[in-house]
């Protein structure tokens, strides 16, 4: 499957507009591409009880999973508040959980206006599944 990285990043940018981030003021949007070509958006949602906060990447992945999609091909991440926005450790492990057996997830970020495409193993070299 060919991945349209620009389209996926545009979906992440659109999702960032829905961010609820009154505490950090760090809006993030994500878009996940499933193995069959569906795209799901997510944004970060903060809470007064900080532990209840969810990152954009997990929001998008959980939306896909809740609709029956278990195999993620790519994740685009964007923040209008930063020149680059990378996934946190928890999101990296969640991505690994829903990575297909034959293809590694591609993580798309934007750095100073240029797309960066890396394999998930770049961010999480020793992920695990049970």
The residues carrying an active-site annotation are 57
Dihedral angle over CA of 113, 111, 122, 104, nearest 10: -30
27 and 21 Cβ atoms separated by less than 8 Å = yes
In degrees and rounded to multiples of 5, residue 5 shows phi and psi of -60, -40
| Distance of alpha carbon 22 from alpha carbon 32, whole angstroms | 24
- List the strands of the sheet with 39-43, edge to edge: 39-43, 29-34, 72-78, 106-111, 114-119
107 and 74 Cβ atoms separated by less than 8 Å = yes
């Amino acid at each position: 499957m060919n991945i349209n990285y620009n389209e996926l990043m545009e979906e992440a940018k659109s999702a960032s507009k829905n961010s609820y981030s009154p505490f950090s003021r760090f809006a993030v949007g994500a878009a996940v591409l499933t193995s069959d070509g569906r795209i799901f958006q997510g944004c970060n949602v903060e809470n007064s009880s900080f532990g209840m906060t969810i990152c954009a990447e997990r929001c998008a992945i959980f939306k896909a999973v809740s609709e029956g999609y278990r195999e993620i091909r790519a994740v685009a991440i964007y923040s209008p508040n930063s020149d680059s926005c990378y996934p946190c450790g928890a999101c990296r492990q969640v991505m690994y959980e829903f990575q297909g057996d034959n293809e590694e997830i591609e993580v798309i970020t934007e750095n100073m206006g240029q797309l960066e495409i890396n394999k998930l193993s770049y961010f999480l070299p020793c992920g695990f599944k049970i």
